Amino acid sequence: MYDGDNTLVGFGRIITDKATFAYLADVFILDAHRGRGLSKKMVEAFCQIADHFGLRRMMLATQDAHELYKQFGFEQLTNPETIMNRKGGELVDS
């Protein structure tokens, strides 16, 4: 996200297979530029990208921006017991 004089004030990325799934990550706006609706514009743009590809699911993780993402249709998992993750650096003996 750039302001009027092409200064970078925010960032985010969407990781997708362009077929069924996307993960929204690293969304942030610099403190000095918060409160101006920039994060909403950015999330809206990412949702439009996902919609363009007709993805079935887009996920993200957030500690404190639940209300922002709810505005764009994100909701808590209905079956979190089916989701698994693996922390980096944990090798499994074969």
Render pLDDT for 25-61 as a digit per residue (tens, 0 to 9): 999 999 999 999 999 999 999 999 999 999 999 999 9
> How many residues are listed for the chain in this entry?
94
Q: What share of the chain is helix, strand, coil (3-state, %, to 5)?
A: 30, 25, 50
Render pLDDT for 65-86 as a digit per residue (tens, 0 to 9): 999 999 999 999 999 999 998 8
Which of 3.40.630.30, 3.30.420.10, 3.90.226.10, 3.40.640.10 would CATH assign to domain 10-82?
3.40.630.30
% of the chain surpassing 70 pLDDT: 95
Residue 44 near residue 27, CB atoms below 8 Å:
no
Which sequence spans correspond to the domains of the chain? Answer: 10-82
pTM of the entire predicted model = 0.83
Report the pLDDT averaged over residues 11-27: 95
Residue 57 near residue 15, CB atoms below 8 Å:
no
